């Protein structure tokens, strides 16, 4: 399982998902206890995940290509 979050996600998206009942027992994919691989992101928000020269898009590309050893993790 691969997940990525933007820096402001902790206060908005991640906690919002938790409050809305997403995730088993309040655990969401970007939580360490979920057990997923959390990719490094240099984006200020979700739309930046797709910036052409970003770490975010390189990490996504590596996962899609099955080159997991090239993914930068948090």
Answer whether residue 18 is part of any domain: no
The pLDDT value recorded for residue 31 is 79
Please give the model's pTM, rounded to 2 decimal places: 0.72
Query: Is residue 37 within 8 Å of 3, Cβ to Cβ?
Result: yes
Q: Count the domains in the chain.
A: 1
For 68, the domain range is: 39-74
Region of 46 please: left (phi>0), alpha (psi -120 to 50) or beta: alpha
Answer whether residue 23 is part of any domain: no
Answer whether residue 53 is part of any domain: yes
Answer whether residue 66 is part of any domain: yes
pLDDT band (50, 70, 90) for residue 20: confident
């Amino acid at each position: 399982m691969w997940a990525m979050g933007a820096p402001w996600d902790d206060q908005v998206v991640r906690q919002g998902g938790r409050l809305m009942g997403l995730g088993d027992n309040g655990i969401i994919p970007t939580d360490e206890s979920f057990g997923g691989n959390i990719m490094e992101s240099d984006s200020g928000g979700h739309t930046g995940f797709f910036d052409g020269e970003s770490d975010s898009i390189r990490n996504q590309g590596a996962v899609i290509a099955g080159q997991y050893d090239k993914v930068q993790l948090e």
